[in-house]
Amino acid sequence: LAICAISFFWTMGAVLIIIFTPLAKNVLTADKHVATLLTALFSIGIAIGSVAINSLLKGHTSAKYGPASVLIMGAFVVLFSLLCKTWPPAVGHYYGWLEFIAMPRALLVIGALMGIAIFGGMFVVPLYAFLTTTVTKDETSRTVAANNVVNSGSMAIGAAMVTALSHAGVTPTNMLFVVAAMCPISAWLAQKLHKACD
């Protein structure tokens, strides 16, 4: 269950990471530095979420906050998409990162993105703890290896999904709704894990 939930998360993560650059360029009309900024903020947000969930759980291995975390993450994904849809595009040029940050809605966009990452981190980090604490020591390396294989396959599926949706004419902002729709499934997996192991 932990491997399935982690892999499902990284399927969503793959979609988000892949669409950041075209979303920054074509929707937010921002340059590559803004795309790099969004990716960096996403990574920082996951780290913040990791610290936050560790404080909440006080060192215990539990998935009890998983369902709520990923559902809140989904809500931030929807908010992020709506903010991007109503973003005022630049005319005749791309926003640089200073110009982007100076925009009135920029803090809302950054806040929504950070919300996605923080609650994503709160969801996925405890799941990794299950891989190393709920199996015997001689099975740990095999469990982690199996997780890595399944995660890689899931990320490949996420990349293929982005390609297929792009060819079908789905915009990056609408792909965000696909990610949001996947969050309840992740919540269901986390709830099953919580009931089985906590």
Has this prediction a pTM greater than 0.85?
yes
Which pLDDT band holds residue 39 (cuts at 50, 70, 90)?
Answer: confident
Q: Given a cut of 80, is residue 118 above it in pLDDT?
A: yes
Q: How far apart are CA 32 and CA 101, in angstroms?
A: 14
Predicted pLDDT of residue 198: 64
Predicted pLDDT of residue 63: 83
Mean pLDDT of 146-156: 89
Which has more confidence, 76 or 15? Answer: 76
Q: How far apart are CA 49 and CA 41, in angstroms?
A: 12
Tell me which amino acid residue 179 is.
V
CB 175 within 8 A of CB 159: no
**Of 191, 195, 192, 155, whose CA–CA distance to 70 is shortest?**
191
Q: Given a cut of 90, is residue 76 above it in pLDDT?
A: yes
Q: How far apart are CA 157 and CA 10, in angstroms?
A: 10
- Residues of 161-194 as b/e, b for ≥16 C-beta within 10 angstroms? bbeebeeeeebbbebbebbbebbeebbebbbbbb
Chain segment 12-36, per-residue pLDDT in tens = 888 888 888 888 888 999 998 888 8
Both structure tokens of 153: 């396959």
Q: Given a cut of 70, is residue 137 above it in pLDDT?
A: yes
Q: Given a cut of 90, is residue 74 above it in pLDDT?
A: yes
Q: How far apart are CA 77 and CA 181, in angstroms?
A: 10
Predicted pLDDT of residue 119: 95
Q: How far apart are CA 159 and CA 19, in angstroms?
A: 10
